[in-house]
């Protein structure tokens, strides 16, 4: 283990609520390992989420890829040794970011897959943005690791997306929305899902492992954000 952490570049602000959790968890992990007053060595680019959401809604993924890749390249120039994209959905452009910057992108999908496989699970329910649930970039990545990811059917899928963008992204947590997601999770567990994937970094604001337990919903809770932060700590200290 390194006695000084390697520098990481964080592409965050997607949203700032979850970005704060990334910084806190990474710093706490480094401090636990190194002790004293040690903390992580981070470069942080925090985006205006309103601009990100507008580009997503317009389907301008090429523009988003260029933006994220450009900023990752600047981080490489500033000494970063890996990139952490602080969002599940923006891993849609992970390959472009890695290619342009020349740095490894610590992939949140691999952190999720590692945890799922370690738990001996092969079918999971994915709760994420509509982009992540509808498109194949996340589910296909898990499938290559032998994991089948199922998502809510419409109109429930659109409602989960609405909750994320109109509530959680604005720091609003509503009990009726929690009940909605828990009811969907119960249904998917009954249909064979062995894990609840909190596949949006804001989802832990709404549903946690204790929430599943209190609602008597079977299955493993998989916090993508926490697992991703843990992987970042491991890289920083390796």
Q: What is the pLDDT of residues 42-91, one digit of tens each?
A: 999 999 999 999 999 999 999 999 999 999 999 999 999 999 999 999 99
pTM, whole model, 2 decimals?
Answer: 0.96
Give the residue among 42, 232, 76, 27 at the shortest CA–CA distance from 68: 76
pLDDT the model gives residue 1: 64
Digits of tens for pLDDT over the chain (238 positions)? 667 999 999 999 999 999 999 999 999 999 999 999 999 999 999 999 999 999 999 999 999 999 999 999 999 999 999 999 999 999 999 999 999 999 999 999 999 999 999 999 999 999 999 999 999 999 999 999 999 999 999 999 999 999 999 999 999 999 999 999 999 999 999 999 999 999 999 999 999 999 999 999 999 999 999 999 999 999 999 9
Class of domain 108-224: alpha beta
Name the CATH topology of 8-107+226-237.
Answer: Rossmann fold (3.40.50)
pLDDT the model gives residue 17: 96
Q: Do domains 8-107+226-237 and 108-224 have the same CATH topology?
A: yes
Buried b (16+ CB within 10 A) or exposed e, 12-43: bbbbbbbbebbbebbbebbbebbeeeeebbbb
Distance CA(171)–CA(184), nearest Å, equals 22
pLDDT the model gives residue 3: 79
Per-domain residue ranges of the chain: 8-107+226-237, 108-224
């Amino acid at each position: 283990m390194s006695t000084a952490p390697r520098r990481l570049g964080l592409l965050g602000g997607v949203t700032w609520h979850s970005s704060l959790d990334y910084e806190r968890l990474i710093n706490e992990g480094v401090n636990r390992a190194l002790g004293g007053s040690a903390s992580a060595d981070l470069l942080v680019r925090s985006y205006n989420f309103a601009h990100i959401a507008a580009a997503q809604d317009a389907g301008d993924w090429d523009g988003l890829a260029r933006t994220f890749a450009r900023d990752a390249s600047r981080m490489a120039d500033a000494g970063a040794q890996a990139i952490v994209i602080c969002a599940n959905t923006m891993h849609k452009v992970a390959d472009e970011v890695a290619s342009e910057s020349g740095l490894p992108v610590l992939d949140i999908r691999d952190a999720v897959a590692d945890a799922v496989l370690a738990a001996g699970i092969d079918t999971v329910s994915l709760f994420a943005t509509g982009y992540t649930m509808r498109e194949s970039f996340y589910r296909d990545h898990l499938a290559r690791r032998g994991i089948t990811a199922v998502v809510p059917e419409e109109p429930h899928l659109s409602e989960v997306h609405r909750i994320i963008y109109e509530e959680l992204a604005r720091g609003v947590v509503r009990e009726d929305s929690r009940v909605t997601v828990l009811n969907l999770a119960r249904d998917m567990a009954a249909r064979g899902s062995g894990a609840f994937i909190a596949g949006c970094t804001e989802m832990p604001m709404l549903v946690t492992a204790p929430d599943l337990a209190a609602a008597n919903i079977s299955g493993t809770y998989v916090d993508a954000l926490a697992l991703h932060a843990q992987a970042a700590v491991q890289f920083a200290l390796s």
